[in-house]
C-alpha cells in the first residue's frame, strides 16, 4: 500500500477498496471510509492550507466539524465548493481538492511575508491605519480583501449538483448518534414515538468509535450494531446520517443539512437536502469539542488535538506521526497516548499541567507533571516541543526549557460541551469550574441536553442520561413509559482538569500563540483589545475577529473569553459569552435555494393562450409571475419595429391582445354595490345591469393604489378587474376590509383570474371582425354601446363581451372560459384575416396607452400620486366614505405645487426622450438644479410620428405650453421639451364611441 502512515490493522475503513484522489493536482490514494483529512494524513500530508491573515502554513487540527485549518476547495476549479472542511469530506474515487489562500503555491506563498511583518499588524490594525484619510479606504480595502480571506467562490454553475428541501414532523428529534443519543432514541422509539435521529458523521456511535470501548464486557461495536439494527427496523424511526443539525428556530423547528456522499452511485439524488423538522421535543446529545492549548507556534502542522489523533487512529487506522509529545491538562489525552503507543507511535513524553496523577497510567512512557509544552519547533512541520515547568499560578515558568524531538504534538486543553443548539433555543450558559467549561444553566421546556454536550464526561452516566431524556421526552408527547437496559461500562470520574487558557512565553521560544486558528487571533491580540477598552466579549469579538471565521470559534471561544477575563481580573462568568447563532456549521447556499433556481426560482404563470403566442413567434416578457407576449417579431425585426407595426395596426385596422392576466374578482351579495362604493372613489349605486364602469382605488393615506373596470352582471353580481401586478394585493385588500372592518356586509368575493381567457380586440375594424364570428351577440353600437356588456354565444362557446378600451380605439374584451381561449383566438384570427388582424404585445400596448394618456399603476401612479394629481379629482364622490377619503383633506394633498400628470413633446421633433429623466427649468446638467418633475413613461408614437412622454410636473396642468428640459445626467443628455396635455390622440373620445 502506498499510504505510508496507514496502520496494518484496525480502523473502520474498507481496506480493499482503494480510492484515487488528487490534492493540488498530486495523485494520492486512500480507502473507502476515509475522510479527505484521514487520507491526506495516511499519505503523510500535513501541510494543507495557509492561514487567513498571516498566511502561515497550517495542518489538519481536528477530526470533525470544528476544524479551523484544513479547509479546501472541492471539485473542478470553475465549479468547486470552497471552504469545505477536509475533516468532513468523505473520500470518493476521483475526488479533486485544492488548498486555499496561497499564491502561487501552498509550499511557496508570497504573502507569508505578512507573518514576518506581524508586529506591525496587530488587532485593529486595519481600522487604525487605513481609515484615514477616509476617502482612501475604498482603495485600501480592495487590496486588503485580496490579501486576506479563505477560499474563493466558484464562477461556474455546477449543473450536475441538485439540492432539495423537505419538511418533516416528529415527536422526538435526537441530535447526535453517540452513546447518549442512541440510548435516548431507542428509549423513545420503544415507547412508540415518532423519532428522527441525526448525526453529522456517516457512521454511528459518536465518541465510541474514536476510542476502543467496552460495553457489557464486549467491544462497543456490538452494542452500536444491535442498537442500530433495532432502530432501522422500526417504522417509527428515521435515521439521518451525514446530517448536520445546524439550527434550532422558533417553535421547535430544526434545520438539518443532509448530505449525499459525493461520488456515491446514486448520482441522481440531491447533493444535499434541507430537512426542516418540526418536533415536539428535542434531545441534544451533540458531544463535546476538544480545545487547543495556547502555546507559541501552536498552529504548526503536526500540532493536533489529542482526541483527533486518537480518532484518526481508531476510525481510519492512520498514524498522524511517528513520535509524539502529548500535551494536556486533563485525563482524556492519556487514552489517546495509550492508543497511539499501542499502534506503534513512539510517545516521547506526556506533559501534564497537573501535579496530581491522572486516573490512567501508561507504562513505559515518560511523564512530566506540572509542566507544559510552551512552544512548538519547526515551520511547515513540527520538529520538536519546548517543555517547561509551570509556576503554581500557571502564568509563569520555573526551571529550564527542555526540547523534545517529535513530529507530532497532541494537545488537549479540555473539552467544551457542544451547546450551540441549546443556545439557539435561548438557553443561557454557566461556567462549571469542575470541568472548566461552559455548560447549560437551565432546563428548557422542549429541549434537553445530555451526555458530553451537558458536560457529562463519564460514560455510564451518559447512557443513563440518554435513557432518562428519552423517557421524559416521550412522556411529554403522551406516550407510556418504557424500560431499557443501559450497558454496563466505565463509571469512574476523571481527575479534574487544570484550567490552562494560555501558556506563558519561554525565553528564547517566542512565537505567536493562537487562540483562534481560523481567524488568526493571538493571545496578544486579545490582551491588546482588553487594554484598549474592549471589555465586552461582543466588542472583543468584533475588534479582533475572534470567533468570526466560518468555524465560529468552535475551538477558540472559551480560551478567548478566559484570557479576556484574566486580563480584566474578572471571573469567567462575569465576562459573559457570545451568543451562538445558527448555523452551527456552514451550510452551502445551494441547500437553502433547493430547487428554486434558474427558471424554477419562481412559478411561471402562462395564460390559456400561451401556445397561440408561441406559434405566432412571440417574444415573451415577465409581468410579475406571468409571461406575456412582449412583441411578435414577424420576420425577425426588433422590438421597436414590431411594436410600431402592431400599434399602427390597431389605430388603422384591428389588433388583438391577450389580457387574461388582469385580475378578475367575482363579487356577489346584497351588499355588493355598497362594497364597491367603499372600495372605489366613485359611486356604484347607479350602475345599471349590463353596464361597465371605470373605478379608482386609494390607500387609506389617499394615494392611488389600483384601477380597473367593474361590470354589473346582475342585481347582486359584479365582476371587478384589477391590474395584472396588483391582482393578489387587491384581493387581500378586499378580504381585509370585508373580514375585519365591515364584517356586517353581505358579500362574497372569489378570484376568478385563472378561470377565464380574455382577448381584447381593438381598432376601427374590431366590430366588423367580431360580427364575422358566428354567434348570437349583437355588436351594433345601439345594442352594445361603449361601457356596455353582452353575454351570449360567440364562436360556439359561452362568452361575455365588454365594450371597453385601453388603446383609445373602438374596442371589445371577449371573456370565455379558459379552455375555450385558443379556439376563440383562432376564430378571431380567421375572421380578421382580410383586415390583416394583428396580435400585439405589451410594448405596443404601452405605446397605445401613452398616446391615449392613460396613467398606469407603478409609473405615473407610483404610490405618491393622488387622483387629482392624475387628473381624476372630480371622479371622487363627496357623498360617501371610501377607503382613503378622510386623508384627502390633509393640506399636503391639496397643496398648490403638487406634481400633476401632463404630456411632453420634444421641441426638436426628431429628438428622443431619455427614460427616467428629471424635469428642470434651466439647461444645466451640473447640480444642484431644482427638479420640478420627472418623466414617467416614454414612447415613440407612430400616430404623432415622434417621441411623446407622460410626466409628473409640479403644477403641470397650469403650465401646458411651457418649455422645460428633460435632464438625464446618467446618459449625459438634456432635451428641451414642451409641456402638453397628457392625451395625445382623440381627446374627445370619439373613436371609443364610434
Partner 1 sequence: MLLIPCPWCGPRAQIEFTYGGDADVRRPKDAMAATGAAWHDYVYLRDNPRGSHDEIWQHSAGCRRWLRLTRDTLTHAIIDSAPPTKEPPS
Q: Give the per-residue SS3 of 284-347.
A: ECCCEEECCCCCECCCCCCEEEHHHHHHHHHHHCECCCCEEEEEECCCHHHHHHHHHHHCCCEE
Task: Count CB neighbours of 648 within 10 A.
Answer: 18
Nearer Cβ to partner 1 (146/736): 736
Query: CB 834 → partner 1: shortest distance, Å?
Result: 48
Judging by beta carbons within 10 Å of its beta carbon (0-12, 13-18, 19+), is residue 292 exposed, middle or buried?
buried
Residue 850 backbone class (left: φ over 0; alpha: ψ -120 to 50; beta: rest): alpha
Among the listed residues 916, 875, 871, the one whose alpha carbon sits nearest the alpha carbon of residue 898: 871
Interface residue with partner 1 among 267, 700, 746, 754 (CB under 8 A) is: 700
Contact 584, 246 (CB under 8 A): yes
**Distance between CA 281 and CA 283 in Å, rounded?**
7
C-alpha cell at 402: 527542555
User: For partner 1, which stretch binds (CB under 8 A), given 329-337, 361-369, 728-736, 850-858?
Assistant: 728-736
Query: CB 700 → partner 1: shortest distance, Å?
Result: 5
Helices then strands, each counted (H, E), the chain: 22, 49
User: What is the maximum span of the chain, computed from C-alpha positions, in angstroms?
Assistant: 115
C-alpha cell at 377: 519547533
Nearer Cβ to partner 1 (672/698): 698
- Judged by CB under 8 A, the chain residues 407 through 436 that form the site for partner 1 are 426
Residue 278 within binding range of partner 1, rule CB under 8 A:
yes
Residue 701 within binding range of partner 1, rule CB under 8 A:
yes
Interface residue with partner 1 among 434, 570, 836, 881 (CB under 8 A) is: 881
Q: Which residues contact 736 (CB under 8 A, 6 or more apart)?
A: none
Q: Give the per-residue SS3 of 651-713.
A: HHCCEEEECCCCEEEEEECCCHHHHHHHHECCCCCCCCCCEEEEEEEECCCCCEEEEEEEEEE
Residue 836 within binding range of partner 1, rule CB under 8 A:
no
- Judged by CB under 8 A, the chain residues 847 through 866 that form the site for partner 1 are none
Nearer Cβ to partner 1 (168/954): 168
State the distance between the two ends of the chain, measured CA to CA, in whole angstroms. Answer: 93
Number of residues lying near partner 1 (CB under 8 A)? 23
Residue 741 within binding range of partner 1, rule CB under 8 A:
yes
- DSSP per-residue string spanning 463-478: HHHHHHHHHHHHHHTT
SS3 at position 141: helix
Query: CB 895 → partner 1: shortest distance, Å?
Result: 16
Convert residues 889-928 into a mask of x (bound to partner 1 by CB under 8 A) and - (unbound): -x--------------------------------------
- Judged by CB under 8 A, the chain residues 257 through 276 that form the site for partner 1 are 276
Nearer Cβ to partner 1 (250/945): 250
Residue 103 within binding range of partner 1, rule CB under 8 A:
no
**Distance between CA 305 and CA 555 in Å, rounded?**
10
Nearer Cβ to partner 1 (625/911): 625
Residue 249 within binding range of partner 1, rule CB under 8 A:
yes
Nearer Cβ to partner 1 (22/894): 894
Among the listed residues 638, 695, 641, the one whose alpha carbon sits nearest the alpha carbon of residue 847: 641
User: For partner 1, which stretch binds (CB under 8 A), given 737-745, 799-807, 810-818, 820-828?
Assistant: 737-745
Q: Which H or E element spans position 253?
A: strand 253-259
Nearer Cβ to partner 1 (8/740): 740
Residue 887 within binding range of partner 1, rule CB under 8 A:
yes
Rg over alpha carbons for the chain, rounded to the nearest Å, is 38
**Distance between CA 656 and CA 612 in Å, rounded?**
12
Interface residue with partner 1 among 111, 367, 885, 944 (CB under 8 A) is: 885
Interface residue with partner 1 among 2, 155, 232, 251 (CB under 8 A) is: 251
Query: CB 251 → partner 1: shortest distance, Å?
Result: 4
User: For partner 1, which stretch binds (CB under 8 A), given 99-107, 739-747, 820-828, 860-868?
Assistant: 739-747
Nearer Cβ to partner 1 (230/701): 701
Residue 2 within binding range of partner 1, rule CB under 8 A:
no
Residue 930 within binding range of partner 1, rule CB under 8 A:
no
User: For partner 1, which stretch binds (CB under 8 A), given 9-17, 548-556, 596-604, 734-742?
Assistant: 734-742
Interface residue with partner 1 among 596, 735, 746, 826 (CB under 8 A) is: 735
Residue 732 within binding range of partner 1, rule CB under 8 A:
yes
Q: Which residues contact 968 (CB under 8 A, 6 or more apart)?
A: 914, 916, 917, 918, 974
Nearer Cβ to partner 1 (700/819): 700
Query: CB 625 → partner 1: shortest distance, Å?
Result: 14
Query: CB 892 → partner 1: shortest distance, Å?
Result: 12
Interacting residue ranges for partner 1, rule: CB under 8 A = 167, 249-253, 276, 278, 426, 700-701, 732, 735-736, 739-741, 743, 881, 885-887, 890
Amino acid at each position: 500500500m502506498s499510504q505510508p502512515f496507514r496502520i496494518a490493522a484496525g480502523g473502520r475503513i474498507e481496506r480493499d477498496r482503494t480510492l484515487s484522489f488528487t490534492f493540488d493536482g498530486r495523485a494520492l490514494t486512500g480507502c473507502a471510509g476515509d475522510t479527505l483529512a484521514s487520507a491526506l494524513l495516511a499519505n503523510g500530508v500535513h501541510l494543507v492550507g495557509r492561514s487567513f491573515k498571516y498566511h502561515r502554513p497550517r495542518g489538519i487540527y481536528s477530526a470533525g466539524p470544528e476544524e479551523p485549518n484544513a479547509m479546501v476547495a472541492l471539485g473542478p476549479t470553475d465549479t468547486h465548493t470552497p471552504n469545505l472542511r477536509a475533516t468532513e469530506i468523505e473520500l470518493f474515487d476521483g475526488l479533486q481538492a485544492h488548498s486555499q489562500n496561497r499564491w502561487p503555491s501552498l509550499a511557496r506563498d508570497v504573502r507569508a511575508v505578512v507573518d514576518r511583518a506581524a508586529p506591525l499588524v496587530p488587532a485593529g490594525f486595519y481600522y487604525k491605519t487605513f481609515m484615514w484619510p477616509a476617502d482612501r479606504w475604498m482603495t485600501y480595502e480592495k487590496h486588503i480583501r485580496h490579501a486576506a480571506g479563505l477560499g474563493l467562490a466558484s464562477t461556474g454553475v455546477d449543473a450536475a449538483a441538485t439540492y432539495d428541501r423537505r419538511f418533516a414532523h416528529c415527536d422526538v428529534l435526537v441530535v447526535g448518534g453517540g452513546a447518549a443519543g442512541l440510548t435516548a432514541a431507542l428509549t423513545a422509539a420503544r415507547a412508540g414515538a415518532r423519532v428522527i435521529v441525526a448525526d453529522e458523521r456517516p457512521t454511528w456511535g459518536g465518541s465510541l468509535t474514536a476510542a476502543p470501548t467496552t460495553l457489557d464486557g464486549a467491544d462497543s461495536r456490538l452494542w452500536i450494531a444491535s442498537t442500530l439494527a433495532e432502530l432501522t427496523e422500526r417504522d417509527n424511526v428515521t435515521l439521518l446520517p451525514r446530517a448536520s443539525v445546524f439550527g434550532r428556530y422558533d417553535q421547535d423547528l430544526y434545520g438539518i443539512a443532509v448530505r449525499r456522499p459525493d461520488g456515491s452511485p446514486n448520482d441522481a439524488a440531491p447533493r444535499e437536502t434541507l430537512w426542516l423538522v418540526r418536533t415536539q421535543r428535542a434531545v441534544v446529545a451533540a458531544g463535546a469539542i476538544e480545545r487547543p492549548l495556547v502555546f507559541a507556534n501552536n498552529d504548526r502542522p503536526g500540532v493536533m488535538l489529542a482526541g483527533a489523533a486518537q480518532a484518526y487512529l481508531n476510525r481510519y487506522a492512520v498514524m498522524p506521526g511517528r513520535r509524539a509529545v502529548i500535551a494536556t491538562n486533563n485525563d482524556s489525552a492519556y487514552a489517546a497516548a495509550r492508543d497511539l503507543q499501542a499502534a506503534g507511535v513512539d510517545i516521547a513524553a506526556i506533559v501534564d499541567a497537573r501535579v496530581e496523577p491522572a486516573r490512567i497510567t501508561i507504562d513505559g512512557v515518560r511523564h512530566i507533571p506540572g509542566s507544559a509544552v510552551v512552544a512548538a519547533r519547526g515551520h511547515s512541520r513540527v520538529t520538536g516541543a519546548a517543555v517547561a515547568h509551570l509556576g503554581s499560578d500557571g502564568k509563569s515558568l520555573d526551571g529550564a526549557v527542555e526540547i523534545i524531538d517529535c513530529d507530532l504534538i497532541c494537545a488537549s486543553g479540555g473539552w467544551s460541551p457542544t451547546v450551540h443548539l441549546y443556545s439557539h433555543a435561548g438557553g443561557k450558559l454557566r461556567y462549571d469550574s469542575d470541568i472548566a467549561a461552559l455548560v447549560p444553566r437551565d432546563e428548557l421546556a422542549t429541549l434537553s441536553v445530555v451526555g458530553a454536550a451537558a458536560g457529562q464526561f463519564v460514560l455510564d452516566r451518559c447512557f443513563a442520561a440518554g435513557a432518562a431524556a428519552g423517557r421524559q421526552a416521550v412522556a411529554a408527547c403522551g406516550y407510556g413509559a418504557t424500560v431499557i437496559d443501559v450497558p454496563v461500562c466505565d463509571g469512574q470520574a476523571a481527575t479534574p482538569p487544570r484550567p490552562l487558557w494560555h501558556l506563558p512565553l519561554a525565553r528564547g521560544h517566542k512565537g505567536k500563540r493562537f487562540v483562534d486558528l481560523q481567524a488568526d487571533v493571538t493571545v496578544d491580540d486579545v490582551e491588546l483589545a482588553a487594554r484598549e477598552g474592549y471589555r465586552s466579549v461582543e466588542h472583543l469579538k468584533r475588534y479582533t475577529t475572534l470567533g468570526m471565521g466560518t468555524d465560529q470559534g468552535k475551538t477558540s471561544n472559551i480560551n478567548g473569553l478566559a484570557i479576556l477575563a484574566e486580563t480584566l481580573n474578572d471571573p469567567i462568568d462575569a465576562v459573559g459569552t457570545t451568543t451562538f447563532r445558527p448555523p452551527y456549521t456552514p451550510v452551502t447556499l445551494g441547500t437553502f435555494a433547493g430547487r428554486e433556481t434558474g427558471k424554477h426560482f419562481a412559478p411561471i404563470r402562462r395564460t390559456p393562450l400561451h401556445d397561440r403566442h408561441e406559434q405566432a413567434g412571440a417574444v415573451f416578457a415577465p409581468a410579475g409571475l406571468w409571461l406575456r407576449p412582449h412583441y411578435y417579431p414577424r420576420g425577425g425585426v426588433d422590438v421597436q419595429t414590431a411594436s410600431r407595426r402592431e400599434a399602427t395596426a390597431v389605430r388603422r385596422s384591428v389588433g388583438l391582445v391577450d389580457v387574461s392576466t388582469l385580475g378578475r374578482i367575482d363579487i356577489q351579495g346584497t351588499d355588493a354595490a355598497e362594497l364597491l362604493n367603499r372600495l372605489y372613489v366613485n359611486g356604484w349605486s347607479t350602475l345599471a345591469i349590463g353596464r361597465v364602469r371605470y373605478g379608482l382605488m386609494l390607500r387609506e393615506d389617499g394615494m392611488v393604489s389600483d384601477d380597473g373596470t367593474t361590470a354589473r352582471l346582475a342585481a347582486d353580481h359584479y365582476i371587478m378587474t384589477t391590474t395584472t401586478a396588483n391582482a393578489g394585493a387587491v384581493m387581500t385588500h378586499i378580504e381585509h376590509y370585508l373580514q375585519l372592518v365591515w364584517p356586517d356586509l353581505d358579500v362574497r368575493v372569489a378570484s376568478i383570474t385563472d378561470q377565464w381567457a380574455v382577448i381584447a380586440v381593438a381598432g376601427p375594424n374590431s366590430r366588423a371582425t367580431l360580427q364575422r364570428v358566428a354567434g348570437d351577440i349583437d355588436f351594433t353600437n345601439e345594442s352594445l354601446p361603449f361601457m356596455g356588456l353582452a353575454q351570449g354565444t360567440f364562436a360556439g362557446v359561452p362568452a361575455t363581451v365588454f365594450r371597453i378600451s385601453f388603446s383609445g380605439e373602438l374596442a371589445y374584451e371577449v371573456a370565455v372560459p379558459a379552455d375555450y381561449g385558443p379556439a376563440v383566438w383562432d376564430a378571431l384570427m380567421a375572421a380578421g384575416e382580410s383586415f390583416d388582424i394583428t396580435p400585439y404585445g405589451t410594448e405596443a400596448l404601452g405605446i397605445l396607452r401613452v398616446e391615449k394618456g392613460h396613467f398606469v399603476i407603478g409609473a405615473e401612479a407610483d404610490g405618491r400620486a393622488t387622483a387629482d394629481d392624475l387628473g381624476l379629482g372630480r371622479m371622487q364622490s363627496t357623498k360617501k366614505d371610501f377607503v382613503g377619503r378622510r386623508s384627502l383633506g390633509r393640506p399636503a394633498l391639496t397643496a398648490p405645487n403638487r406634481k400633476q400628470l401632463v404630456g411632453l413633446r420634444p421641441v426638436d421633433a426628431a429628438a428622443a426622450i431619455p427614460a427616467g429623466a428629471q424635469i428642470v427649468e434651466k439647461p444645466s446638467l451640473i447640480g444642484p438644479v431644482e427638479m420640478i418633475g420627472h418623466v414617467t413613461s416614454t414612447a415613440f408614437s407612430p400616430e404623432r410620428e415622434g417621441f411623446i412622454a407622460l410626466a409628473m410636473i409640479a403644477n403641470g396642468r397650469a403650465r401646458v405650453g411651457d418649455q422645460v428640459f428633460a435632464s438625464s445626467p446618467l446618459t449625459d443628455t438634456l432635451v428641451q421639451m414642451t409641456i402638453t396635455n397628457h392625451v395625445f390622440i382623440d381627446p374627445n373620445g370619439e373613436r371609443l364611441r364610434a
